[in-house]
Amino acid sequence: MSLTQDIRDAFSRRDNALNQLIIINALVWAIVIIVGAVLSLAQSSGVYVLLMRQLALSSDGLVLLRHPWTLLTYAFVHENFFHILFNMLNLYWFGQIIREYLGDRRLISLYILGALVGGVFFLLAYNFLPVFQGRIGQPVIGASASVTAIIVAAATLLPDYTFMLILLGPVKIKWIAAVVVIISLAGINGGNPGGEITHLGGITAVDARQ
């Protein structure tokens, strides 16, 4: 069976939202990487910048007005392999819990709401917090806000659910979620403050959904 047929089969099922989200992210990542490589070889890096401008969420409100769809599309775009790898692993592990106990529709709504609220947090931070003055126009990409929303939702739903972690052994999901929150707060002072702020938006999205 061909890869194309496998993808078609995955999207033909109504009870397959988790795999569909992962496939969409993987396909977008592959397309971005391939197009980026081709344009780099063709010495057309400017075209790649224009392409990413259609997908990434800019902290510039005027750019967002011209590209309103980026408030959602940024949550399906990755450039770094390890970025998408860790996001998709977390989406798979914690998404299975949401899917099993709340259903596919709730999983999708959490993913979308996490992206939207994370994007709003990102925009508000860069436009109103003094620490980000002079950095308007900074873009953000990645499913981290959506994945964080799903992690926290799973921890809220089943706080004592246990994962077996390499080197650490059994760890309750509530402690994993707590670490995610702490890392997001600590990362605001690091090299990717915009991304970490979207994580905090994803956490808030859980309260909004409930």
Q: What is the pLDDT of residue 208?
A: 47
pLDDT band at 177 (very low <50, low <70, confident <90, very high): confident
Mean pLDDT, residues 53-58: 94
Q: Which fold has domain 3-209?
A: Rhomboid-like fold (1.20.1540)
- Cβ count near 13 (within 10 Å): 11
pTM: 0.88
Structure token digits, residue 9: 């089969």
Band (pLDDT 50/70/90 cuts) for residue 52 is very high
Q: What confidence score (pLDDT) does residue 200 get?
A: 77
Alpha helices in the chain (DSSP H): 3-12, 17-41, 45-53, 61-66, 70-73, 81-102, 104-128, 144-157, 173-187, 193-209
Q: Which residues of 48-57 are buried (b: 16+ CB within 10 A; e: fewer)?
A: beeebeebbb
